[in-house]
Structure 1
Amino acid sequence: MASGSAAAPKTAPVFHPTVWGDFFINYHPQPLQRPEEWMRERSKQLKEEASGLFDACEDVVEKMNLVDALQRLGIDHHFEDKIITTLSRIQSAELNSPSLHEVALRFRLLRQQGFWVSPDEFNKFRCEDGGFITDITNDPKGLLSLYNAASLVVHNEGSLEEAILFARRHLELMRSSLKSPLAEQVARALQIPLPRTLKRVEALSYIPEYIQEKTYNPSILEFAKLDFNFLQHLHQEELSAITQWWNDLSRDIGLDYVRDRVVECYFWSYTVYYEEEYTRARMILARLFMLASLLDDTYDVHATLEECRKLNEAIQSWDECAVSDLPEYLKKFFLKVISNFREFENQLEPHEKFGNAYNKKAFQMLSGYYLQEAEWFHGNYIPSFKDQVNVSVLSAGAQALSVGLLVGMGDLATKEALEWAIGSTDAVWACGEVARFMDDMSAFKNGRNQKDVASSVECYIKEYSVTSEVALAKLSYLVEDAWKTINQARFEHRALLPVVERVTNLAKSMALLFLDKRDAYTYSKDFKETMDSHFVNPIPL
């Protein structure tokens, strides 16, 4: 270990090297399957056709099916105003349908958009004793829709929790007998319910399935394919730029102990917003992800306690003169952090620049949380479960990243939104809980780094003298409880709904990356095929 101003000695790599190498630096995207101008013009025509369908829909069910298809195909961002208007009308309209699928679809679409719907909507499918009627156990599509709708449960909604268990049990019993595409849709939902699934991830699965739906519209499908491929081309250009940025940065700072995961950081940013208009925000957030990852690895796997304290002091001062107090190997890193934040601010319009002060403050706070964990580790101290969670939920990064994702979002980055994000209340805190508990359960399964502080799993086991199975069950319960808080935020912060949705996307990305107690960020080899489908392989037209 280094101390004082001595250079850090070479250490054996803690993490596997990047699976990408210079792929995106040297990568020349394949020419679009059609000329860009043609794709833009054709997309414009198809968008107009799809837009006309909102007026052509004759009843509530047709309107719901249209909104559902646009969302699952990942092209709803082109019709935001029309979708909100349509859902507002759907909320006001009567739906006297005997179909469980239709009732559940209405419930899910409205709740996702922040329109309140009572769980009593499902009472028509219950017996007098409160249980569900047996008829719906033979309705797999209805059960799947019920399961997905009930996943938007908020606190104190026992009837929806019961619905989740009921639907899941029967879907698991019948899944082997289901036909495509319903079989695949059930399998996906049993892993991650649709309301917790990232739109871009669902689009990749749903685009080839959509042609088998009764509501299939060839113009909508063509638009979805063109839009996906056009955006993928944009994402490839961004990946080339962010990889070059990282190449230059890593060469300059020379921290050989860190996770080389810039493509994965970009993927994380892309899961928050993939739309064309958020290029600036996406690139800022990807760099912020990488800088936070470097900071985390420095505190976690390399620095001595004294070096951790000095680094935190420098970050809190945000003064380039503080570099003289740092060990040699951290001087360039600290200066690069400051220069990157300066570059973030330079990308903002004059009226937007105030947001970067929140960004800087959140990064400073993140450093403080990392230092607290380092103090615990080096002092051989195992905190209480409550104390550990109060720090580790924040060190999971949801607070800093919720602020950071706002910085490049233009008019959405209001003072109210930034105060909400940095305050780490409700959905932001809950996103941190999802990240922390899923990460800790993964680390417990896969083995943690030597210098990691005791995890929430270990603290729970020690404090309550329980088995690991009991502790893991408790954390799984807390993850589900956090999702209720995230769902609740849609109704409590209607004015901030576009921002709440992006924070929700951050939580959804955690559900994907830590699925089945894996860690697809740190151990990204097995996740490369998934990222290939997003960034390398176009959808055949």
Structure 2
Amino acid sequence: MRARSYMSFYEEAHLHDKVLLNFAKLDFNMMQECYKKEVGNTTKWWRKLEFGKKVPYARERIAELYFWPFAMNSEPKYSTFRGVMAKLTQWTTILDDTYDGYGTIEELELFTQAIQRWDASYTESLPECFKVVFNAMMELCDEIIELSAVSGESNLILQSVKEALSHYVKGYIVEAKWCHEGYVPTYDEYKANAASNLGYQLFAITFIALGEFATKETLNWISNNIPLILQASSLVARLTNDLGSHKFERQREHVASAVECCMKQYGFSQEHAYEFIKKDINNCWKDMNEEYLKLVEDIPRPVLDCIVNMARICEFLYENREDKITNCALFNDHIVALLLDPVVV
């Protein structure tokens, strides 16, 4: 989208290079076809697994959620990664809705055990939709392992994925219990849990596995303890999400957001809580920038970039306290510019 703007500005310059401009337009259109194919493959996957029929509460947000893998890295050579990530982001959204709005606490505890123990038998007594979501996860993990086999680190990748999924759903079940009990945690409690339940560790592992960065050193760095740069990125995403969506979430039974937790801990008004959280987001960016500079000699730069970019895409999706994922009309122009309208050559 920004590339389209740059080309438009450049074309208006009196001394622009027409050949260079035409190449830029052709390159944009070729990449757009690539992105459209990736979104189309995700749509086929969605229909094949019949999420719309078997998981009736599932939101189909394939084009909108594609902006995550696109933002993480849009280069042509990472097409395989984006194809898998497009499915993974859709799956995590279904998982989010399963914990937030569908399952009972008893069902969710069983479902959590199924994922943490990697054992489908825990889903046998659950409604069909849980089994569909669990099986989709297993298939995605198989796909990641198969595609990353060339790295020679398949066993370590599988272990890393399992641990990330376990950590991920642990954060969700904590929030589900808070909601079930009507408990409003302190802002500090909320943040301590929030860094785990966005799936960013899982996303980063997927990029490492499919982006040809799957070394023991990099996988251990991302898996053994959540690095500060990833914690900060996850918190930026969670806090900006909460600023944009908490009013909508208050319309249904839902765990308290960062806004309510901040108001409780500090006795703030809603507007004061907004300002406090914005400052917290700025501090997270300072942590990310500092960690990036410390790590850039040891961790591949594209890995660090993808982690930072996950925070950037959330700031875009939830800027001005708006939620472009829930209110898709706010997103239409961006989807059209990226995926539908070619640049006129």
Pick the TM interval, shorter chain: over 0.9
Q: What is residue 309 of structure 1 aligned with on the other side?
A: 109
Q: What is residue 379 of structure 1 aligned with on the other side?
A: 181
**Partner Cα distance (1:513, 1:393) in 2:** 18
**Partner Cα distance (2:15, 2:149) in 1:** 44
Q: Describe the shift of the 1:389–1:360 C-alpha distance in structure 2 as closer, same or farther (beyond 3 A).
A: same
Q: CA deviation at 1:286?
A: 1.3
Q: What is residue 362 of structure 1 aligned with on the other side?
A: 164
Report SS of the residue matched to 2:323. coil
**Partner Cα distance (2:289, 2:69) in 1:** 21
Q: What is residue 329 of structure 2 aligned with on the other side?
A: 525
Q: In 2, are the aligned partners of 1:437 and 1:475 still within 8 Å (CA)?
A: yes
Q: What is residue 484 of structure 1 aligned with on the other side?
A: 286
Match of 1:454 among 256, 264, 267: 256
- Percent identity, aligned pairs only? 29
Q: Describe the shift of the 1:356–1:213 C-alpha distance in structure 2 as closer, same or farther (beyond 3 A).
A: farther
Mapping of residues 127-142 of structure 1, within 5 Å: none
Q: What is residue 163 of structure 1 aligned with on the other side?
A: none
Q: CA deviation at 1:446?
A: 3.9
Q: Aligned partner of 2:246: which letter?
A: F
Q: In 1, are the aligned partners of 2:116 and 2:162 still within 8 Å (CA)?
A: no
Q: What is residue 437 of structure 1 aligned with on the other side?
A: 239
Pairing 1:220–2:20 present: yes
Q: CA deviation at 1:445?
A: 4.2
Q: In 2, are the aligned partners of 1:314 and 1:322 still within 8 Å (CA)?
A: yes
Q: Describe the shift of the 1:364–1:502 C-alpha distance in structure 2 as closer, same or farther (beyond 3 A).
A: same
**Partner Cα distance (2:153, 2:142) in 1:** 14
- 1:68-114 superposed Cα distances (whole Å, 9 cap, x missing partner): xxxxxxxxxxxxxxxxxxxxxxxxxxxxxxxxxxxxxxxxxxxxxxx
Aligned length: 340
Q: Aligned partner of 1:289: which letter?
A: T
Pairing 1:414–2:215 present: yes
Unaligned 5+ segments in structure 1 are 1-200
Unaligned 5+ segments in structure 2 are none
Query: With CA pairs under 8 Å and 6+ residues apart, which has the higher RCO, 1 or 2?
Result: 2
Match of 1:318 among 98, 118, 122: 118
Q: In 2, are the aligned partners of 1:427 and 1:485 still within 8 Å (CA)?
A: yes
Whichever of the two has the greater Rg, that structure is 1
- TM-score (structure 2 length as normaliser): 0.92
Q: CA deviation at 1:217?
A: 3.8
Comparing 376-385 with 208-217, greater Cα deviation is found at 208-217
Q: Aligned partner of 1:523: which letter?
A: N
Pairing 1:515–2:319 present: yes
Q: CA deviation at 1:302?
A: 0.7
Q: Aligned partner of 1:515: which letter?
A: E
Q: CA deviation at 1:362?
A: 1.0
Q: Describe the shift of the 1:363–1:503 C-alpha distance in structure 2 as closer, same or farther (beyond 3 A).
A: same
Report SS of the residue matched to 2:263. helix
**Partner Cα distance (1:212, 1:393) in 2:** 45
Q: In 2, are the aligned partners of 1:323 and 1:335 still within 8 Å (CA)?
A: no
Q: Describe the shift of the 1:401–1:214 C-alpha distance in structure 2 as closer, same or farther (beyond 3 A).
A: farther
- 1:101-131 superposed Cα distances (whole Å, 9 cap, x missing partner): xxxxxxxxxxxxxxxxxxxxxxxxxxxxxxx
- 1:19-61 superposed Cα distances (whole Å, 9 cap, x missing partner): xxxxxxxxxxxxxxxxxxxxxxxxxxxxxxxxxxxxxxxxxxx
Q: Describe the shift of the 1:466–1:375 C-alpha distance in structure 2 as closer, same or farther (beyond 3 A).
A: same
Structure having the higher helix fraction is 2
Pairing 1:502–2:310 present: no
**Partner Cα distance (1:264, 1:536) in 2:** 13
Mapping of residues 113-512 of structure 1, within 5 Å: 201-212=1-12, 216-251=16-51, 254-350=54-150, 351-353=152-154, 354-410=156-212, 412-422=213-223, 423-448=225-250, 450-494=252-296, 495-496=298-299, 497-512=301-316
Task: List structure 1 runs of 4+ shifted beyond 4 angstroms.
Answer: 212-216
**Partner Cα distance (1:376, 1:414) in 2:** 38
Q: In 2, are the aligned partners of 1:434 and 1:479 still within 8 Å (CA)?
A: yes
**Partner Cα distance (1:394, 1:263) in 2:** 25
Q: In 2, are the aligned partners of 1:261 and 1:290 still within 8 Å (CA)?
A: yes
**Partner Cα distance (2:52, 2:159) in 1:** 26
Q: Describe the shift of the 1:383–1:251 C-alpha distance in structure 2 as closer, same or farther (beyond 3 A).
A: closer
Q: CA deviation at 1:395?
A: 1.4
Q: CA deviation at 1:214?
A: 8.2
Q: In 2, are the aligned partners of 1:433 and 1:479 still within 8 Å (CA)?
A: yes
Q: Aligned partner of 1:395: which letter?
A: N
Q: Describe the shift of the 1:434–1:216 C-alpha distance in structure 2 as closer, same or farther (beyond 3 A).
A: farther
Q: CA deviation at 1:340?
A: 2.2
Q: CA deviation at 1:361?
A: 2.0
**Partner Cα distance (1:310, 1:364) in 2:** 13
Q: Describe the shift of the 1:467–1:246 C-alpha distance in structure 2 as closer, same or farther (beyond 3 A).
A: same
Q: Aligned partner of 2:338: which letter?
A: H
- TM-score (structure 1 length as normaliser): 0.60
Let me know the Cα RMSD of the aligned residues: 2.0
